[in-house]
Structure 1
């Protein structure tokens, strides 16, 4: 996994080794704590359950702050092994792609251009390159949302879909390719919107409309709604703030998928949406991250989907 590409003038690197799940938590926490245009985080496997996290920047790190983040994510023993160094010259794009193997979720195969030939017949290939936006398909939150799209397809074909915080656009593209319907993707980050638009064109998803919008109350989102399926793969604080406006955008009988949540954060997100009259339909846990599917009125008993 690589969230962002190393800055062109990257001169500093932080490295730490850890088992897979702690390494992923370290990478996630650091990537959430910095501007992706200034700091890039790579997480890759060296051997079985032996992973390395590398953090790149063009300015010297605050070593104490980074050690504190590593300790918060993985404990003091691993934080004590953090090292800092200078960056050697290398082909950053090639290096970033080495660790991005194709990810398969149901019919979807999310891959980079270097693995285009590996997409088998009867699969829905979605080509996403590492970029300055979140969403290569490798993160548990993205995979959870892809599973939710597969689940939604079993219920029927939603007429309108909204992907809030679209990042690279991978979820919006997946929904358009699966449902062959109108999909709106939005993001507060103009770089993400440009990236998502380019990805939608590259993946021949003409039904995707990418909008630059702050939050869920933008007029353009209301004008294109209401939505039968809303995807929101962001973080807990904005998810809680969006509970009321997302509920207002939901069509009768529609569903909302929430992700970007550590398993421990799921109850707080659920409480915010229950206050808006929504009920839990299903929960999926993947590598310490939780994806929730909610509806105004649950049509079947709550079920737990094992990861």
Structure 2
């Protein structure tokens, strides 16, 4: 979790469909008008074949915005005929959702399981035992499994040396990277409860020699800055903070680094992709699971496939 976005708290979004010129004017004015720590703005050309106007502006708010004020700003930027639609998402018990069907979860070379399923885990797998807790990320969820599948595919081609897990939750992705690579991994989360849970899971899964878990907001914490450049970054959070992270995360990356993003509903994946493309990263792979999309990005050498 990141930037105060707890699993049960909704993120609010305003969407505007318009032409490119007005989309850019709207994004510029709203970007100047709102606190960047409270909002995230993405303007991008849609890739779904929708007839003109082909551009979409999405504005994500941490709290329910003054809709009249937002509408007035949009009208000022683009004229009174531009329509804005408001919505919210994420108002859901993600821990409960992640525990639907508590069988062991295979994800390539990894298997995530609870203590009651130790006997059911195949011997030729990297087994990670995670129990439900107050933090998000048990493996029984399309977002976490998508990240693990992306990591498994990556490991068939290269061996990252400096991984970072932003918004670590239960620590499952950091543990998976550490167990597979035998490299030091830095994991961070804004939520002290999540970090306490992650540290317990790290110790229990025999990854304590490799994983350091810290409470940190965003990417500015001393240990995060000291550990750069990173050649593998996980961020399994929500679209609003993912968009806000694009620019600061790009400054942490080594040439050819891989970035694995998740926590994205299918409808929100292009907003995140646009933000990271603006920082010079390109899409390597999309992994759709259930209602979620995981994006695998690279900033130099990996080719899309």
Q: TM-score, normalised by structure 1?
A: 0.67
Structure 1 residues 219 and 154: CA distance shift in structure 2, 3 A: same
Residues 147-296 of structure 1: matches in 2 within 5 Å?
147-205=149-207, 206-296=209-299
Does 2:35 correspond to 1:33? no
Aligned pair in 2 of structure 1 residues 98, 270: CA closer, same or farther (>3 Å)? closer
Instruction: Classify 1:203/1:175 alpha carbon distance in 2 versus 1 (closer, same or farther; 3 Å).
Output: same
* CA positional deviation for 1:30: 7.8
Q: Cα gap change, 1:263/1:193 in structure 2, threshold over 3 Å: closer, same or farther?
A: same
Q: Deviations over 1:6-52 (max 9, x none)?
A: xxxxxxxxxxxxxxxxxxxxxxx983439xxxxxxxxxxxxxxxxxx
Residues 133-144 of structure 1: pairs in structure 2 closer than 5 A:
133-144=135-146
Structure-1 residue corresponding to 2:51: none
Q: Is the 8 A contact 1:173 1:203 kept in 2?
A: yes
CA distance in 2, matches of 1:237, 1:184: 22
Give the structure-2-normalised TM-score.
0.67
Alignment equivalent of 2:108, drawn from 106, 109, 112: 106
Q: Deviations over 1:154-203 (max 9, x none)?
A: 12211110010000000100111111111111000000001000100000
Residue 220 of structure 1 and its aligned partner are, at CA, apart by: 1.3
Determine the C-alpha separation between the residues in 1 that align with 2:126 and 2:105.
Answer: 11
Contact 1:185 1:208 in 2 (8 A): yes
Q: In the alignment, is the contact (CA less than 8 A) between 1:160 and 1:183 conserved in 2?
A: yes
Moved over 3 A (4+): 29-34, 96-99
Give the conservation status (yes or no) of the 8 Å contact 1:163–1:185. Answer: yes
Question: Which whole-Å CA distance do the structure 1 matches of 2:249 and 2:288 have between them?
Answer: 23
Is the Cα–Cα contact under 8 Å of residues 255 and 300 in structure 2 kept in the other structure?
no
Contact preservation (8 Å) 2:164, 2:186: yes
Contiguous gaps of at least 5 residues in structure 2: 1-5, 12-86, 90-97
Aligned-residue offset at 1:152:
1.5
CA RMSD of aligned residues (A): 2.1
Distance 1:198 1:30, change over 3 A: closer
Q: Is the 8 A contact 2:107 2:145 kept in 1?
A: yes
For 1:19, the equivalent position in structure 2 comes to none
Q: Contact 1:262–1:288 (CA<8 Å) still a contact in 2?
A: yes
CA change 1:98–1:257 in 2 (3 A) is closer
In 2, distance between residues paired with 1:219 and 1:242?
17
Deviation at 1:98?
8.9
